[in-house]
Structure 1
């Protein structure tokens, strides 16, 4: 599915090496957690996997094909294959839940209202479509982010500290949701500082000494 070969990445401002001959493969695991100290490059690695960051040396393969560094091709690659969950939500507060989830659709369809209601039901927000983002809680907003990422049926779901801003109970709800998502065959790569989040993943890696180390 995903292979990284000898990835080298420098921090532009300081020219400091962030990754040096970093390699990684996601084949058998349905889900992988990536941990590491602050500043080790966890979020940068997700940006490379999502196609946002192309300023690296090495090879990134997805399903046996090298991922292009061309901007337009990267947009299509991300649209066709990748779902993204961020810690700061990136939702439009003045729009409804339904309108925000529609942004994740690859293309409009006759059944999109039914598709959105189905995905809202999956994340525990049935009936929330007409509510404004400003009217719901942080935990509910995170569920909307997950629904928006899942609506296009991505092959890989990338999550950056998905429970970092949530309380313990809401974090548990999101962890249960991640376990449910995996039953549908979606693969997860989660960057997290939380051992509880890492424990729902089949594989665990640590970013250490500029490389990914399997735990």
Structure 2
């Protein structure tokens, strides 16, 4: 199987608020094939799901082990990993992380900096998430589902190979969650892969593969749809 990414013998410790040190990962291995479209990352609160996404995103280099992307081992430095993230990875969070004083369009343009045609690519990204014509709207006037769509548009504007989503439907009602899952499925059909950290059984069931963080490693739970 050709791999999109692999984490090899990942080991990491964290310092708790009380000053104690806890081993979060101990020899954790994870691989995602280039043809895999979605993986659900499960586990109890505090098990390390968000930390694992931050490592894959290149936002946390304080670990032992190796991170391989498309066959090349990556450095742990934040500067080279920032370049890797810009070229290959989009991020979606539960809290949307939108700039309230910006319009919809300007929020997505923020993720399009450095592209050859940022305005055109921003319009295309908004159209892909069902927000065509809403670029001038204030983000403070959006519903939760619309705000998450703006965050997704910002994540895909650079056409990344991989989207990392951390509880992307955690703040949404059931109907809106279904709409976001339909959008994710559409983006996967266009070739974008997803790793989604979630507590939602519905989100997990919509993913092609499920893994859980348990006993400081990853355990396979099988395949979904």
Same fold (TM over 0.5): yes
1:81-100 alignment runs, 5 A limit = 81-100=88-107
What CA distance in whole angstroms lies between the structure 2 residues aligned with 1:114 and 1:152? Answer: 12
What CA distance in whole angstroms lies between the structure 1 residues aligned with 2:113 and 2:87? Answer: 7
Change (3 A) 1:80 1:106: farther
Tell me, yes or no, if structure 1 residue 11 matches structure 2 residue 14.
yes
How far is the alpha carbon of 1:106 from its aligned partner? 4.8
Aligned to 2:37: 30
What CA distance in whole angstroms lies between the structure 2 residues aligned with 1:117 and 1:29? Answer: 28
Q: Contact conserved, 2:8 with 2:29, CA < 8 A, in 1?
A: yes
1:177-192 alignment runs, 5 A limit = 177-192=183-198
* Structural RMSD (CA): 1.1
1:109-188 alignment runs, 5 A limit = 109=116, 111-188=117-194
Q: Which of these residues, 48, 52, 57, is aligned with residue 55 of structure 2?
A: 48
Could you list the runs of 5+ residues in structure 2 that have no partner in the other structure? none
Tell me, yes or no, if structure 1 residue 2 matches structure 2 residue 2.
no
Q: Which ranges of 4 or more aligned residues in structure 1 deviate by more than 3 Å? A: none
The size of the alignment, in residue pairs, is 214
Q: Which has the higher contact order (CA 8 A, sep 6+)?
A: 1
Could you list the runs of 5+ residues in structure 1 that have no partner in the other structure? none
Q: Contact conserved, 1:9 with 1:19, CA < 8 A, in 2?
A: yes
Q: CA-to-partner distance for each residue in 1:96-119, whole Å, 9 max, x for gaps? A: 11100011115143x433322222
What CA distance in whole angstroms lies between the structure 2 residues aligned with 1:84 and 1:112? Answer: 18
What CA distance in whole angstroms lies between the structure 1 residues aligned with 2:172 and 2:216? Answer: 29
Q: CA-to-partner distance for each residue in 1:115-165, whole Å, 9 max, x for gaps? A: 222221211111110011111111100000000000000011000000000
Q: Contact conserved, 2:112 with 2:121, CA < 8 A, in 1?
A: no
